[in-house]
Amino acid sequence: MTLYAKAKFSINKMSMIEIIKQPWPWYIAGPLIGLTVPALLIAGNKSFGISSSLRHICAACIPANISFFNYNWKNEIWNLMFVLGIFLGGIIAAHLMMDTKEIMMNPTLKTELTGYGITDYSNLVPKELMSFESLLTLRGFIIMVGGGILVGFGTRYAGGCTSGHAIMGLSNLQWPSLIATVSFMIGGLLMANIVLPFILSL
């Protein structure tokens, strides 16, 4: 490889890394996420979902005679590998590919959050809400522990998470998934506009 070719390759590589670091617009990220549905169906008639991996982990690790965990979880190893890839990809992105600039957000929202004492926007989530220090506060405990319990309960009660219902279920024209997705949206609006401001004021 000539010196010119090496320099050109280096420039192209750098530009690609810079592109990956930036937030992708919905019209690119959305179709890419949507394409996972037909890709999994073509690959082996598999359903896209994340929360089901927790059931597979419990079935593999908990040696108990519980009917909910009594199935051949080894057939779902692909799902565990998929979730592991998401986890490892998140670690790589957070430590090696994070943009050092402050997270961009609506100025009105920023002003409102400042009133609640949230001023650190150097990470994807504010450290005032998501950190080991904030876990010891009432506000942080409610958000992290209480929120985690509600997410786990809601996922089990709805028979799936947002990826399973809103992406896979709607793609298959499943009526329960439409109800679940509408409920997700209503719950999110109520949480963001009524419940969360109350929690942040604690």
Q: Return the sign of the alpha-carbon dihedral for residues 140, 142, 143, 149.
A: positive
Type of residue found at 18: E
* Per-residue pLDDT, 152: 86
Q: Is the pLDDT of residue 13 over 80?
A: no
* Per-residue pLDDT, 160: 85
* CA nearest neighbour of 118 among 161, 109, 66, 4: 109
Kindly report the pTM of this predicted structure: 0.70
**pLDDT tens digits, 118-150:** 888 777 788 888 888 888 889 989 999 999 999
The residue ranges of every structural domain in the chain are 103-202
Candidate from 1-10, 35-44, 101-110 with smallest mean pLDDT: 1-10
Please write down the long-range contacts of 78-85, taking CB distance under 8 Å and 24 or more positions apart: 78/44, 78/46, 79/46, 79/49, 79/52, 79/53, 80/53, 80/56, 82/53, 83/50, 83/53
Tell me which of 154 and 22 has the higher pLDDT.
154
Q: Where are the alpha helices (DSSP H) in the chain?
A: 3-21, 26-34, 36-44, 52-61, 77-96, 107-115, 132-135, 138-141, 147-158, 162, 170-171, 175-190, 196-200
Tell me which of 197 and 65 has the higher pLDDT.
197
**pLDDT tens digits, 149-181:** 998 888 888 888 888 888 888 888 889 999 999
Confidence grade of residue 194 (pLDDT, cut at 50, 70, 90): very high
Rounded CA-CA distance 41/97 in Å is 31
Mean pLDDT on 21-50: 82
CA distances from 129 to 106, 139, 190 (A): 19, 8, 19
